[in-house]
Structure 1
Amino acid sequence: MPVLSEQIRERIRAEFPKYPDRRAVTLPALHIVHDELRQVSPEAIREISELLEIHPAEIHDTMSFYNFFREPDRPLGKRRVWVCRSISCMLRGGEELLENLSHKWHVGPGQTSSDGSVSLEYAECLGACEGAPCILVDDECHMNVSEEDVERIVGKQ
């Protein structure tokens, strides 16, 4: 039974005309699958490789290069919170924010809470230095955040 729905396959195929060849669709395909399934399983890698007509190892190489994609043994929570660790954010409390959230949510960076509600990550830079400290919650950047702001945004107490 296929892991990728026909809708996911169509979204990947829709990327083909945007790139010079199918190999170049590897990263967009991984994002599409990860956004839908919250992980990229070995079965999904095989199915992506069939669509792109490249070896599964090439898909896995791309996936493992970026620390963004989750595999089935490390499932992604309902919300994903990235705390920026750039120098600007560090100087304005980003490291303490990460430490406090980690302690409060009982989860280390790169892990998902036991209830599956949140995955906590750190980012080397989110590119929002003017709003340090900043976080990325799913795909939305929030600047000048405090611990209370994060809890309100994420909805986790």
Structure 2
Amino acid sequence: MLSRVSVLPRVRLVRGARGLSNYHPIASHVDSAENTKTTPFDFNAENHARAELIMSKYPTNYKQAAIIPLLDLAQRQNGGWLPLAAMDRVAKLVEVAPMRVYEVATFYTMFNRERVGKYFIQLCGTTPCMVCGSEDIKKAIEDYLGIKEGQTTADGLFTLREVECLGSCANAPMIQLNDDYYECLTPKSVVELLKRCKSGNVPPMGRWGSLPLNGQVSCEGPAGKTSLFEEPAPPPMRADLDGQVDPASVKAHMGY
């Protein structure tokens, strides 16, 4: 169970050579013109069906287990951020007090409680990326966009935030742009990426779901691919399953 302490702001106040982050998420709701306690929100018809499918994956006595995927669904419908009403709607769906949902939304940095740009840039600044040049990448982004970390451009296109490890250390330095990873960056290549975003011509992802911008494929080293030249066969599937498994019987289906 999440602790009540999770409603506190996750503010990074580490001073030193890397400076002080400009991003200071609020710890409680503050009304704005587009986000008040009376601002309406509900899932559209398509997402209502998705919400029902999400909740069907969990036992009925553990509906709260669906909070994270439901918040993600609400955030995507609402243009990348969560108004108070969206969190309240999720709380009603899973039948918990709104505070239980607020705790989750304020704890995880994947959820934004303030509007972000069309292109949400999360710059990894953890040690592997830092020693490979993330500070140079950050400066290139800030100089090109005319904003500082934690800010959004005046045209609403870009928001820049520095985050902790995104798990792509082998291809550092990197950024997450909305849902996608762009890796092996240089100050020049990241500016080229931003230019393509401005023109609406974002580079497509590679076969493995990320795009190193230095020409390599996935995490291949300078010698190229050295193993797994043939794609391994997938594990066999049970013929008696149609994809719909009652969560209560999952252990039996998995052979426990």
Asked if Structure 1 and Structure 2 have the same fold, meaning a TM-score greater than 0.5 normalized by the shorter chain, the answer is yes
Taking the aligned partners of 1:129 and 1:68, their CA distance within structure 2 comes to: 19
Listed as ranges, the gaps of 5+ residues in structure 2 are 1-39, 200-256
Is 1:110–2:175 an aligned residue pair?
A: no
Q: C-alpha displacement at 1:24, in angstroms? A: 0.5
Match of 1:54 in 2: 96
Match of 2:218 in 1: none
Q: C-alpha displacement at 1:146, in angstroms? A: 1.6
Q: 2:66 aligns with which of 8, 17, 25?
A: 25
Taking the aligned partners of 2:51 and 2:192, their CA distance within structure 1 comes to: 34
1:3 counterpart letter in structure 2: D
Match of 1:91 in 2: 131
Listed as ranges, the gaps of 5+ residues in structure 1 are none
Q: How does 1:1-157 map to 2 (within 5 A)?
A: 2-20=41-59, 21-37=62-78, 38-71=80-113, 74-154=114-194, 155-156=197-198
Q: Which has the larger radius of gyration?
A: 2
Taking the aligned partners of 2:151 and 2:135, their CA distance within structure 1 comes to: 17
Instruction: Return closer, same or farther for 1:19/1:110 CA change in 2, 3 Å cut-off.
Output: farther
Instruction: Return closer, same or farther for 1:110/1:3 CA change in 2, 3 Å cut-off.
Output: farther
Instruction: Return closer, same or farther for 1:49/1:115 CA change in 2, 3 Å cut-off.
Output: same
Q: Where in structure 1 do 4 or more consecutive aligned residues deviate above 3 Å?
A: none
Greater per-residue helix proportion: 1
Structure with the larger RCO, 1 or 2 (CA within 8 Å, 6+ apart): 1
Taking the aligned partners of 1:26 and 1:107, their CA distance within structure 2 comes to: 33
Q: C-alpha displacement at 1:152, in angstroms? A: 3.0
> Are the aligned partners of 1:75 and 1:112 in contact in 2 as well (CA < 8 Å)?
no
Deviations 1:25-82 (A, max 9, x none): 00111111112212111111111111111111111110001122222xx311111111
> Are the aligned partners of 2:140 and 2:190 in contact in 1 as well (CA < 8 Å)?
no
Secondary structure of the residue that 2:56 maps to in structure 1?
A: helix
State, as a whole percentage, how many aligned pairs show the same letter.
25
Greater per-residue strand proportion: 1
Taking the aligned partners of 1:147 and 1:118, their CA distance within structure 2 comes to: 17
Secondary structure of the residue that 2:117 maps to in structure 1?
A: coil
> Are the aligned partners of 2:144 and 2:191 in contact in 1 as well (CA < 8 Å)?
no
Secondary structure of the residue that 1:13 maps to in structure 2?
A: helix
Taking the aligned partners of 1:145 and 1:84, their CA distance within structure 2 comes to: 11
Deviations 1:77-134 (A, max 9, x none): 1111111112111011102211331233122223221110011111211111111111
Taking the aligned partners of 2:139 and 2:58, their CA distance within structure 1 comes to: 41
Instruction: Return closer, same or farther for 1:2/1:142 CA change in 2, 3 Å cut-off.
Output: closer
